[in-house]
Amino acid sequence: MYNDKVMDHFFNPRNVGELENPDGVGQVGNPVCGDTMRITLKIKDNRIEDIKFRTFGCGAAIATSSMVTELVKGLTLEEALEVSNKQVAESLGGLPPQKLHCSNLAAEAVHAAIQDYYKKQGLVVSDDNGSSHDHSTHDHSVDDESSEE
Amino acid sequence: MSSQPNAQRQVYLDHSATTPVRPEVLAAMLPYFAGKFGNASSIHRWGYEAREAINDAREKVASLIGASPSEILFTSGGTEADNLAIRGVAHARRSRGNHLITSQIEHHAVLHTFEVLQKEGFEVTFLPCDKYGLIDPDDVRKAIRKDTILVSIMHGQNEVGTVEPIKEIGEIAREHGALFHSDAVQSAGKIPIDVKELNVDLLTLSSHKIYGPKGVGALYVTKGVRLTPQVTGGAHERRMRAGTENVPGIVGFGEACRLAKAELPEESARLTKLRDKLIEGLLNEIPDVVLNGHPVLRLPHNVNVSVKYLEGESILLNLDRMGVAASSGSACTSGSLEPSHVLLAMGLSHETTHGSLRFSLGMSNTEEDINYVLEILPPIVEKLRAMSPLGPGSVL
- The CATH number of residue A103's host domain is 3.90.1010.10
Percent residues over pLDDT 70 in chain B: 96
Residue range B296-354, pLDDT digits in tens: 999 999 999 999 999 999 999 999 999 999 999 887 666 666 789 999 999 999 889 99
Query: Which of B241, B153, B263, B240 has its CA nearest to residue B204?
Result: B153
B246 shares its domain with B227: yes
A112 touches chain B (CB under 8 A): no
Q: Is residue A133 part of a domain?
A: no
Selected residues 328-357 of chain B with any CB under 8 Å from a CB in chain A: 330-333, 335, 337-339, 349-351, 354
B119 shares its domain with B80: yes
Residues on chain A touching B331 (C-beta within 8 angstroms): 33-34, 102
Q: Which residues of A are catalytic?
A: 33, 102
Q: Is residue B149 part of a domain?
A: yes
Contact criterion met (CB < 8 Å) for A58 and B339: no
**How many domains does the structure of chain A reveal?**
1
Residues on chain B touching A61 (C-beta within 8 angstroms): 311, 314
Q: How far is CA B271 from CA A145, B191, B265, B268, B370, in A?
A: 48, 11, 10, 5, 11
Better-scored residue on pLDDT, B278 or A128? B278
Last residue within a domain, chosen from B260, B275, B294: B260
B16 shares its domain with B39: no
A35 touches chain B (CB under 8 A): yes
Show the domain range for B119: 23-260
Given this model, what pLDDT does residue B334 score?
62
B93 shares its domain with B215: yes
The average confidence (pLDDT) of chain A is 84
B134 shares its domain with B225: yes
A15 touches chain B (CB under 8 A): no
Contact criterion met (CB < 8 Å) for A98 and B1: no
How much is the ipTM here? 0.86
Q: Is residue A145 part of a domain?
A: no
CATH number of residue B92's parent domain: 3.40.640.10
Residues on chain A touching B357 (C-beta within 8 angstroms): none
B252 shares its domain with B268: no
**How many domains does the structure of chain B reveal?**
2
Q: How far is CA B312 from CA A35, A57, A87, B335, in A?
A: 11, 8, 26, 13
Selected residues 300-329 of chain B with any CB under 8 Å from a CB in chain A: 309-314, 317-318, 321
Rounded to the nearest angstrom, the minimum Cα separation between A121 and chain B is 25
pLDDT band at residue B111 under the 50/70/90 scheme: very high
Q: Which of A42-51, A120-129, B187-196, B206-215 has the lowest mean pLDDT?
A: A120-129
Q: Is residue B393 part of a domain?
A: no
Query: Which of B271, A58, A79 has its CA nearest to residue A68?
Result: A79
3-class state of residue B54 by DSSP: helix
